[in-house]
C-alpha cells in the first residue's frame, strides 16, 4: 500500500467505522456462533501473494463481524464500559502513525513529557493528594500509564516487596532473601479483583483474603486483627490492596480506617479504583475517596470509564524512587545524557517498549474538557439510578448493592436458580448482554450503563426485556424442562467443563474468570446431568455434594 492508497483506504475505513458505530443498534449484542466458527471460514495458511484491500474488507464484514461481541452497543450492559470515543480513536491513530517506542526520555521526549503532564492534569482533576503529582513543589511522586489495572497492582506489589526485603535485610543482614520472602504477607478483601491474587502468585508472596462487612467494604478492625494474628505467627505484613469500586458490586473499602493500620505497621497501601476512580473528577464523588491521604499508590482506568480506548491504565505513586528501585536495570545501550533530569518510564513497569498512549488521553481531556467528562459520568450514574428505581418498584425483584455509580446488581427474589435462568434467557436472546456475580453469597445480575450516549430509552428498553423474560420464567410450570434445553445451548459466555475436569481442578483461577457461569457436563454422553451454574465460593459445597453421590 503506498501513501495515496493509504489516503484512500484510510478514508474508506473511517466511513466503515462510522457506519459500524451508527448502525450498531441493529446488530445482536453478542454473536450467535459456536467455538471454532472461524477456522473453516479462513484458509489454513497465510496468503503467499498480496490480496486486495476490498477482499480483506469484505471478509471483515462477512467473517469477522459475525463473531464480534459489540462492547459499544447501546444494549451492552456487561462488565464495565470499554472506553471509546472519536477523539481517542483519532489520538491512537496518530500514535500508531508516529510509531515511536518511548522507553526513555531520549527515545522520544514528547512521548515521556506529555505522559507526565497529562497524568498531573488527570490527578488534579481526580483530587489526588499533591504528593502524587510530578510537578507539585518538592514532590517525589508522579503518574504513569500502564497497560492494565492488573499491571498496576503487580508493579506496586513488586515495589512494596522490594522495600520490605530491603528493610528486613538491614535488620537481619545474614538472613537469605528467600527466607525473608517466605515471611511476607499481602492482604486484600474477598471483593478485590482476582488480579491481586495473580500478582501475589507472580511475586511469590502469601495473600490473606479478608471478609468485608455486609456492605462489601473492608474495614480497618478486620485488617488490624488479621495483621496482629500474622505478626504473632512470625509473618510480616507488607502490602494491602484496597478497592474503591469493586468489580462485582462497586463497593468501597474504608480507607480512613485501613490507612492508619497500614501506617502503624509501615505497610504499602495500594488503592485499585479501576472503574470508579474516573468518577472522582466529579465533586460529589470525591468523599468516596476519603482516606486517600494514606495511600502509597492509586490506579484508575480511563480505558474503562473515561472515554479513552484500551489500553490506558493510569497509576500514581507517592514516591517514584521507591517504585523504580524494584524495576531498574540499566544496560549501556539504553542510557542517555539526560537521565538525571528526566523520567525514563521503562523503570516504572514491566515492559521496556511503550506506545505513545498519552496522546489519546490528551485528545480526550482537551476535546471534552473536564466539564464534558463530568457530564458523561453523571449521565451514567443518573441512568443507573433510573434502572434501580424500576427494579425497586417491581416486587418480584430486589436490588443487591448500594447504587452509587453506573452499576446496579439485582436478582429475582427466591432461589438463585431463577436469576440464573433469567440471565441465561436474556443473553441467549442477543437483545441485551449482562453478566452475573455473587453479592453476599447470592447470585445476582450486574447491569452496567456503558454506552457513551446512553439514554433513558435504552434503560427502559433493557428493563422491559428483563421484566418480560422474568414473567415468562415465573409463569412456566415446566420450568425445569425448559432450563435443561436452555443449558444445552452452548454459548461463548458460558464455560462448559466436564465433571472430571471440575473435580480435578484445585485452583480457583483455572476454572473461573470471575464472571462466566460454569456448566458441568457429564463425561459419558456429554449431556448436562446437572444444571449447575456456579462460582468459586460455591465450589467447595459442590465438591461435597458430588462426593456424597
The only residue of 122, 149, 306, 373 in contact with ligand PLP, by rule CB under 6 A: 149
Nearer CB in complex with ligand PLP: 148/492: 148
CA distances from 412 to 80, 237, 339, 444 (A): 22, 41, 59, 8
Nearer CB in complex with ligand PLP: 79/463: 79
| Part of the chain binding ligand PLP (CB under 6 A), chosen from 240-248, 318-326, 355-363, 419-427 | 240-248
Q: Strand 442-448 vs strand 407-412: parallel, antiparallel, or unpaired?
A: antiparallel
Query: Minimum CB separation from ligand PLP for residue 251, in Å?
Result: 10
- Phi and psi at residue 152, to the nearest 5°: -60, -45
Beta bridge partners of 438: 443
List the Cα angle 422/425/430 in 5-degree steps. Answer: 130
Nearer CB in complex with ligand PLP: 343/435: 435
Query: 8: number of CA atoms within 13 Å, CB side?
Result: 6
Residue 132 in contact with ligand PLP, rule: CB under 6 A: no
Nearer CB in complex with ligand PLP: 165/195: 195
| Part of the chain binding ligand PLP (CB under 6 A), chosen from 6-14, 145-153, 225-233, 370-378 | 145-153
Nearer CB in complex with ligand PLP: 112/146: 146
The only residue of 77, 193, 318, 360 in contact with ligand PLP, by rule CB under 6 A: 193
Nearer CB in complex with ligand PLP: 197/230: 197
DSSP string, 157-186: HHHHHHHHHHHHHHH-TTS-HHHHHTTEEE
| Part of the chain binding ligand PLP (CB under 6 A), chosen from 146-154, 158-166, 282-290, 366-374 | 146-154
DSSP string, 458-470: HHHHHHHHHHHHH
Give the count of residues interacting with ligand PLP (CB under 6 A): 14
Q: Strand 397-399 vs strand 407-412: parallel, antiparallel, or unpaired?
A: antiparallel
Residue 189 in contact with ligand PLP, rule: CB under 6 A: no
Query: Minimum CB separation from ligand PLP for residue 78, in Å?
Result: 11
Residues 134, 253: Cα–Cα separation, whole Å: 27
The only residue of 222, 241, 243, 251 in contact with ligand PLP, by rule CB under 6 A: 243
**Residue 67 has which C-alpha cell?**
463473531
- Phi and psi at residue 185, to the nearest 5°: -130, 125
Count of positions (residues) in the chain: 549
Residues 260-299: x where in contact with ligand PLP by CB under 6 A, - otherwise, as a string: ------------x-xx------------------------
- For binding to ligand PLP (CB under 6 A), which residues are involved? 80, 148-150, 193, 195, 243, 246-247, 272, 274-275, 301, 313
Amino acid at each position: 500500500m503506498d501513501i495515496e492508497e493509504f489516503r484512500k483506504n484510510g478514508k474508506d475505513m473511517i466511513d466503515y467505522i462510522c457506519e459500524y458505530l451508527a448502525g450498531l443498534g441493529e446488530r445482536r449484542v453478542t454473536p450467535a456462533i459456536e467455538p471454532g466458527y472461524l477456522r473453516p471460514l479462513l484458509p489454513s495458511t497465510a496468503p503467499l501473494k498480496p490480496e486486495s484491500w476490498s477482499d480483506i474488507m469484505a471478509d471483515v464484514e462477512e467473517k469477522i463481524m459475525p463473531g464480534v461481541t459489540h462492547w459499544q452497543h447501546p444494549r451492552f450492559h456487561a462488565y464495565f464500559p470499554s472506553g471509546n470515543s472519536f477523539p481517542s480513536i483519532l489520538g491512537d491513530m496518530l500514535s500508531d502513525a508516529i510509531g515511536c517506542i518511548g522507553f526513555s526520555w531520549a527515545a522520544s521526549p514528547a512521548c515521556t513529557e506529555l505522559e507526565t503532564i497529562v497524568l498531573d492534569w488527570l490527578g488534579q482533576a481526580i483530587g489526588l493528594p499533591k504528593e502524587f503529582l510530578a510537578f507539585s513543589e518538592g514532590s517525589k511522586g508522579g503518574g504513569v500509564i500502564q497497560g492494565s489495572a492488573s499491571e498496576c497492582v503487580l508493579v506496586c506489589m513488586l515495589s512494596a516487596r522490594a522495600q520490605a526485603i530491603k528493610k528486613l535485610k538491614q535488620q537481619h543482614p545474614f538472613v537469605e532473601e528467600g527466607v525473608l520472602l517466605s515471611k511476607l504477607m499481602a492482604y486484600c478483601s474477598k471483593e478485590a479483583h482476582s488480579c491481586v491474587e495473580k500478582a501475589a502468585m507472580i511475586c511469590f508472596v502469601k495473600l490473606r483474603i479478608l471478609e468485608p462487612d455486609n456492605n462489601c467494604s473492608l474495614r480497618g478492625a478486620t485488617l488490624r486483627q488479621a495483621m496482629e494474628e500474622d505478626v504473632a505467627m512470625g509473618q510480616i505484613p507488607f502490602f494491602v490492596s484496597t478497592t474503591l469500586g469493586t468489580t462485582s458490586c462497586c463497593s468501597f473499602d474504608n480507607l480512613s480506617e485501613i490507612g492508619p493500620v497500614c501506617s502503624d505497621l509501615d505497610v504499602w497501601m495500594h488503592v485499585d479504583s479501576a472503574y470508579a476512580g474516573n468518577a472522582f473528577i466529579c465533586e460529589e464523588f470525591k468523599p468516596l475517596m476519603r482516606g486517600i491521604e494514606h495511600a502509597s499508590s492509586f490506579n484508575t482506568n480511563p480505558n474503562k470509564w473515561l472515554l479513552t480506548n484500551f489500553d490506558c491504565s493510569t497509576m500514581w505513586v507517592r514516591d517514584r524512587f521507591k517504585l523504580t528501585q524494584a524495576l531498574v536495570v540499566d544496560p549501556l545501550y539504553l542510557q542517555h545524557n539526560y537521565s538525571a533530569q528526566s523520567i525514563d518510564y521503562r523503570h516504572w513497569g514491566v515492559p521496556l517498549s511503550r506506545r505513545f498512549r498519552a496522546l489519546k488521553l490528551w485528545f480526550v481531556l482537551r476535546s471534552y474538557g473536564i466539564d464534558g467528562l463530568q457530564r458523561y459520568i453523571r449521565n451514567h450514574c443518573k441512568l443507573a439510578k433510573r434502572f434501580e428505581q424500576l427494579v425497586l418498584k417491581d416486587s418480584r425483584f430486589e436490588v443487591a448493592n448500594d447504587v452509587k455509580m453506573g452499576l446496579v446488581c439485582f436478582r429475582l427474589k427466591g432461589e438463585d436458580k431463577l436469576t440464573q435462568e433469567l440471565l441465561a434467557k436474556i443473553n441467549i436472546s442477543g437483545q441485551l448482554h449482562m453478566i452475573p456475580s455473587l453479592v453476599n453469597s447470592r447470585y445476582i445480575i450486574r447491569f452496567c450503563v456503558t454506552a457513551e450516549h446512553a439514554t433513558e430509552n435504552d434503560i427502559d428498553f433493557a428493563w422491559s426485556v428483563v421484566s418480560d423474560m422474568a414473567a415468562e420464567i415465573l409463569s412456566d410450570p415446566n420450568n425445569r424442562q425448559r432450563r435443561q434445553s436452555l443449558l444445552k445451548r452452548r454459548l461463548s459466555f458460558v464455560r462448559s467443563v466436564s465433571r472430571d475436569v471440575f473435580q480435578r481442578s484445585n485452583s480457583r483461577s483455572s476454572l473461573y474468570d470471575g464472571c462466566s457461569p460454569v456448566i458441568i457436563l457429564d463425561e459419558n454422553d456429554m449431556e448436562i446431568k446437572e444444571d449447575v451454574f456456579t462460582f468459586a465460593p460455591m465450589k467447595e459445597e459442590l465438591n461435597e455434594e458430588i462426593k456424597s453421590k
